[in-house]
Structures are given as structure tokens and as C-alpha cells.
Amino acid sequence: MTRRWLSTLVFLASAPVFAQNAPRDNSWTAPRLPDGHPDLQGIWTNKTITPLERPAALGNKAFFTEEEVRAFTKTALDRGNKDQRGGGVRDVLNAYNAFWWDSGTKVLPNMRTSIVVDPPDGRIPPLTPQRQAQLQEEALAVKVRCQRPGCAIANSGQLSPADKPEELDLMTRCISFGTVVPMLPSAYNNDYQIVQGPGVVAIDTEMVHEVRRIPTDGSAHLPANVREWIGDPRGHWEGDTLVVDSTNFTGKTRRGMDQNLHLIERFTRVGPDTLLYQFTVDDPTAYTKSWSGEIPMSKTDGLLYEYACHEGNIGMRDIIVAAQADEKKAAEQAAGKK
């Protein structure tokens, strides 16, 4: 294929896409609240099959064509519905079909090939050498620990300590799924309810019903020694956009990001059924450069269900009992040999 043909193909591929990349309807004005700010209230969903990072095979191709969307969607959905059994641990760990998940059936309406929009390759920048070394050190400590009994196979497929609750990951303990830092889609429970009041905006996240209370009264961040699981958010309005600046993180909620994370988010209602969510992850001790993403969230008529994760967390109890039994059995065997 000649370079000219290639250019034509790229142009044809891009032209309709940019039109769709602009979900803003200029003839539409967001409804206002009595304080004059746009009304962002409602239940919004970010579920999508669009990947967070652009697959390396797509290089700098930022947008799908219509035809590519059809191919990508069919393959992704077929994969989700396929029987994933392959024998052994795989059967138990992840052989569950689409009925178990609710991550949507469509790519994002902006037709982007990834949620990450910057860097231009659509991929999260590498971690800093210092952060990589920290994570490797943590992984090595786990590996050494798990040469002894009392460990279990985590969701990652790797062995992880499991003989007491404190050793289990935050998801298993129902503390946080890390889906609000930033607000990224997960396998299910991808709904968010926004409520606005005087001097405050609240976002109720269906996943583990984490609530972000965002003061918009001009107050300063908490002192640096106060750390919160999902950070300390402060909001202000820039025109019709709610800008949320979050600091004071623990560094424990999403792998990679550390306690120096500075998250900047922008919420703009660009149509009756579309809330444009943009975010920038600024964490110079964790990432070699900052990175940004974009999700046009869709309004949903559905209800936000309470995901009271502690209600019946039988699985966590079962994991601990199994790991403790494993330890006890090993100890008895060791005693028998003496």
C-alpha cells in the first residue's frame, strides 16, 4: 500500500471519528441549580469495553472507525461469553462468563481506542525506578513469606498471605476496590450518583458504596499528615466545569500510585445524557510523567444499588479458614517428623 493510500485511509478513518469525539451539543445548555452552577445530579455510568490503555498493536491510532468498533466489540463480547475453562487453577480463578460481569457491551461514544488520552500512545507511562524498586521489594517480601504455609492464590494468580484479615487485599476486605482514584470502570457496579448541595458535591460510588464528599466552599486541603483512603478532594468551578483537586492519599488504593498522588478531575455536563469526565494523574514519585484520561459518562435511569460488601463476606472468612487449616496441617506434619 502506498503512502498516499495510507494517508487516505487514515483520513477516512479519522473524519467521522472526530465528529463523534465531540459529544458536546452547542445548542444545549445545562440546567442550573439556584446557585447558578450547572446541575450535574443524577446517576451516571462509565461501564465500557474500551480498554484503559491502548493495546500496543494499535500504536498511535487514537480512534476506532465504525467498522473497527464492530470488529472489536464482537471479539470482546464473544470472548466474554466463551467458556474460559482450561483446567486447574484457571477454572476456579477466572472461568466465569459474561453473566457474572457488568462491564458493558459498547465502546465509549467518543470512539477512542483507550481511556488514556495522554501520552499520545494511550498508555500509562512507566513507573519511576524508585517506585519500581519499592514494588519489587514488596513483591519479594510476599514471595519469601509464601514459602511457608498460610498463603492463598490471589486474584492476580500469585500467592499472597491469607491467614488473617489484615493480610488480605483491600477488595477482599471490602475496604476499597480502588475504582474512584480516579473513577475508572471495573467488572461490575459501574454506577455513580452525584448530589449537589450548598458548598459541597457528593459522589456515591456503587462499588463498595464509597462516597466522595467534595467541599466547594474554597476551603483548603487537610494538613499533610492526615491521609485518607480515597484522598481529600476539594472542588471549584471553572465556568461550567467542576474541577476537583485531590491530595492526601495513602498510596494503598491503586497499585502504582503512591501517597504523593495529586489527582485532578474535571466534570462537565455536555449534553442531557452525557457527563464528560476528564482526569490527570500527577504523581512524580510514582510515574515518569503525568497521564490523563477521558470518559464520557452516560446517564442511566437505573437505580444505584447498595453494595454493602461487609453484609455477607463469607468468601473472606472461607479464605482465612482454609489458609489457617493449611498452616495447622503443615505444623502437625512438621511436629510428626520430629
54 and 114 Cβ atoms separated by less than 8 Å: yes
Among residue numbers 154 through 193, which ones bind another protein (CB under 8 A)? 154-155, 157, 162, 168, 171-172, 174, 177, 185-190
CB of 313 to another protein, least distance (A): 6
**Residues 182, 278, 221, 234: what is their CA dihedral angle, to the nearest 10 degrees?**
-110
In the shown chain, the binding pattern of residues 191 to 230 toward another protein, with x for contact by CB under 8 A and - for none, equals ---------------x------------------------
* Residue 198 or 302 having the CB closest to another protein: 302
The values of phi and psi at residue 185, to 5°, are -65, 150
Asked whether position 322 contacts another protein by CB under 8 A, the answer is yes
Asked whether position 302 contacts another protein by CB under 8 A, the answer is yes
The values of phi and psi at residue 197, to 5°, are -140, 175
- The C-alpha atoms of residue 109 and residue 12 are separated, in whole angstroms, by 18
Complete DSSP assignment for 104-150: -SS--TT-BS-SEEESTTSSPPPBPHHHHHHHHHHHHHHHHHTTSSS
- The C-alpha atoms of residue 196 and residue 173 are separated, in whole angstroms, by 30
Among residue numbers 32 through 71, which ones bind another protein (CB under 8 A)? 47-52, 55, 57-58, 64, 67-68, 71
Among residue numbers 230 through 289, which ones bind another protein (CB under 8 A)? none
CB of 188 to another protein, least distance (A): 4
Stretch that binds another protein, among 24-32, 92-100, 140-148, 245-253 (CB under 8 A): 92-100
CB of 247 to another protein, least distance (A): 26
* Residue 218 or 302 having the CB closest to another protein: 302
CB of 187 to another protein, least distance (A): 5
- The C-alpha atoms of residue 315 and residue 161 are separated, in whole angstroms, by 15
- The C-alpha atoms of residue 205 and residue 47 are separated, in whole angstroms, by 13
